[in-house]
Amino acid sequence: MTSFLLFLSTIPTVKLLPKSDRIFLCKHNIRPLILLNSHELDQLCYSEPWQLMYDNLSAKYVCGNDLFSELVNTKHRAEQILITDPVVTRLWLLILFFSTPLHCYYNNSLPEISLNQRIALVEIQHSYINLLWNYLSHRHGDIEVIRIFSNLTSVYLSMQRISQAINTIIRTRDDLSTLNESFDRAVVIDSDDK
């Protein structure tokens, strides 16, 4: 989560948003994007076998056997069908970040924004969609870009369903209350937390 927030804090479009919009987007959309960000980190960073073992044990403890199995299957599917291009993953993360909000978990107690603010965010999101489409068209051609977009959408929808289930577990299990509180504190860009 920290790496994604650091990434967002370097994006001029995010920096130029009113603070209320940044807080709205972070509080609504960071948690649902944890799995996709984790996929990106798995692509870019080498992990020692012992790290993977502890990550898996932690995930299994939080998820339980059935959901953990779905999580592993979704991660394998992402590895198989998504292209390994950090530019694509980062642009996809930005597109989803600018959703108003992602409906993986909707909490009425979180901040709201006006219709005009939502329209402005959708316009920003649209510009990132165009950028990703043009980038993929240039690199892979018009036909391949459709397949890549379809794969991105399919994998993310699977991740979103699992993310919603994991977030429900984290929010409702007493033994995970500290983790839930940590996530709630961590979903704000540092400069907005002051």
- Write down all domains in the chain, each with its CATH number in brackets: 2-8+20-192 (1.10.565)
What amino acid occupies position 150? S
> What span, in angstroms and rounded, lies between the C-alpha atoms of 171 and 161?
15
The structure's pTM equals 0.84
Q: What is the mean pLDDT of residues 58-81?
A: 90
- Res 27: pLDDT: 85
Higher-confidence position of 193 and 177: 177
Q: Which tokens in the block code for residue 179?
A: 């983790």
pLDDT category at 68 given cuts 50, 70, 90 is: very high
* Three-state DSSP state, 6: helix
> What span, in angstroms and rounded, lies between the C-alpha atoms of 137 and 139?
6
Q: What is the mean pLDDT of residues 70-93?
A: 87
Q: Which residues of 114-138 are buried (b: 16+ CB within 10 A; e: fewer)?
A: eeebeebbeebbeebbeebbeebee
Whether residue 5 contacts residue 30, with contact meaning beta carbons closer than 8 Å, is answered with: yes
Q: What is the mean pLDDT of residues 121-135?
A: 96
> What span, in angstroms and rounded, lies between the C-alpha atoms of 165 and 156?
14
* Alpha helices per DSSP H over 82-102: 86-97
- Res 70: pLDDT: 93
Q: Which tokens in the block code for residue 13?
A: 């479009």
Q: Which tokens in the block code for residue 169?
A: 């577990």
On the question of pLDDT at 109 being above 90, the answer is no
pLDDT category at 103 given cuts 50, 70, 90 is: low
pLDDT category at 85 given cuts 50, 70, 90 is: confident
> What span, in angstroms and rounded, lies between the C-alpha atoms of 167 and 179?
10
